[in-house]
Amino acid sequence: MTRSNIPSMFSLKGKTALIVGGSSGIGRETAITFAEAGADVIVADINEENAKSVYHEMTKLGIKSKVLKVDVADASSVEQMINDLLSSFDSIDILVNSAGINSRVPAENLSEEDWDNVIDINLKGTFLCCKCVAKIMMKQKEGNIINLASMSGMIVNKDRTISAYCSSKGGVIMLTKSLAVEWAKYNIRVNALAPGYVMTPINPWMRDRQINKPTIDLIPMQRFAEPSEISATALFLASGASSYMTGSVLTVDGGYTSY
């Protein structure tokens, strides 16, 4: 890589990106960031109305976009999403799996239904989307998959009762590594992002430093992340700048897991 072509290494012009769970939070920010980098972006989410607002914001950037409704825990819904996508686009160059939920219930009180919901969406949903999209990427002989894991897949958050979430994200990390090894021969890269605490719109309470002081004190950088700081790292993984990376997990946590 030379200095003269470094800027172009981060361009996604000519690429088609599918952002699953792209209607809010990190997924939304990633969709917009990829559009700004020149990619055509499909936003898939169970919340179709929120996804449409992302669509309207992206089309202002002059790129081609589409909204698809999907339930990632349902294999037939995921397959339909891919069929609908291919009716308008010729390829899927990048897949970002950002759909996820949490259940903040002590393990001894966690219902089987709540456990299943978290695992089904966070882990099984990631697998189903990877599986369906990889079949397209295999035919293309190239592809790039980015899974949203979490620092909670590697450590237990202090004073948080999220056993199902931690288990699901730990599974996403190992799924990422497994698929990276299996699919390297098809020129498909599979990496994961492991964010720490991120100030997404659904967590307005994070803006109050006093309430969150015990948690902030555990972060060496002494603050929570902005969604754009996660999407910027996703852009690195989606771009040619990370061309020799697969099976990696990039932790973006302000140093939380360094202790």
186 is catalytic: no
Give, to the nearest 10 degrees, the angle between helix 112-119 and helix 163-183. 30
State the average pLDDT over residues 222-251: 96
| pLDDT confidence of residue 191 | 98
CB 45 within 8 A of CB 99: yes
Residue 28 has pLDDT above 60, yes or no: yes
Residue 170 C-alpha from the chain's centroid: 14
Residue 2 has pLDDT above 70, yes or no: no
Q: How confident is the model at residue 200 (pLDDT cuts 50, 70, 90)?
A: confident
Tell me the whole-structure pTM to 2 decimals: 0.95
Residue 1 has pLDDT above 70, yes or no: no
Q: Which two tokens stand for residue 41?
A: 């972006």
| pLDDT confidence of residue 204 | 73
Residue 188 has pLDDT above 90, yes or no: yes
Among 50-64, 67-81, 177-191, which is the least confidently predicted range? 50-64
Q: What structural domains and CATH numbers belong to the chain?
A: 3-254 (3.40.50.720)
> Among residues 165, 197, 244, 256, which one is catalytic?
165
